[in-house]
Structure 1
Amino acid sequence: MVRPALRSRTKKRKIVRTPGGRHVLRILDKKHDYPKCAVCGAPIRGVPKLTTREERGGVKMPTRIYGGYLCHRCLKLGIKVAARKLAGA
């Protein structure tokens, strides 16, 4: 019997023929998508598509404010709005 964690039907399953002629069931990981901006939904530049915990270990996120959360366009717009609010007050 397969591990309980792999029994979920949300996991992808694929039947593979082995070199010995047997057919075995392989349980595949889900495909991951690029991180998206919280405001506009555009893919965030500088952040790769991450699939496994090992790959996430060596990735350096953008160091600007809201790096990895907002895209550069939305961040620029937010800074402009905040600056104009301060100047008008």
Structure 2
Amino acid sequence: MVRPALRSRTKKRKTVRTPGGRHVLRILDKKHDYPKCAVCGAPIQGVPKLTIKEERKGVKVPTRPYGGYLCHRCLKQGIKLAARTSAGA
């Protein structure tokens, strides 16, 4: 039997066929929530939900400036604001 912590029904289960022909139950790791924008708190598009192990391994974030840190709307506002302030100087 599995550990008591893994017996919770909130854990996802997957039936896997082993090379020996047996069917065993695998308990899947939970995924974290989507990364959020640092300014508005909206989910960042282009970055998936990941497990702890996948996060440690690393994931390719959007290649735009501040990709993976700011959402596209806040980035657009920041660029506009920076252009306005530098144009007036």
TM-score w.r.t. length of structure 1: 0.63
| Post-superposition CA distance 1:12-67 (Å, at most 9, x none) | x3437xxxxxxxxxx985541000000000000000011132x3436311111100
Q: Which runs of 4+ in 1 moved over 2 A?
A: 13-16, 27-31, 55-59
Q: Which runs of structure 2 are paired with 1:4-83 in the superposition (5 Å)?
A: 13-15=5-7, 29=29, 31-53=31-53, 55-56=54-55, 57=57, 59-83=59-83
Percent of aligned pairs sharing the same letter: 77
Q: How many residues align?
A: 67
The runs of 5 or more residues in structure 2 that have no matched partner are 9-26
Root-mean-square deviation over aligned CA pairs = 2.6
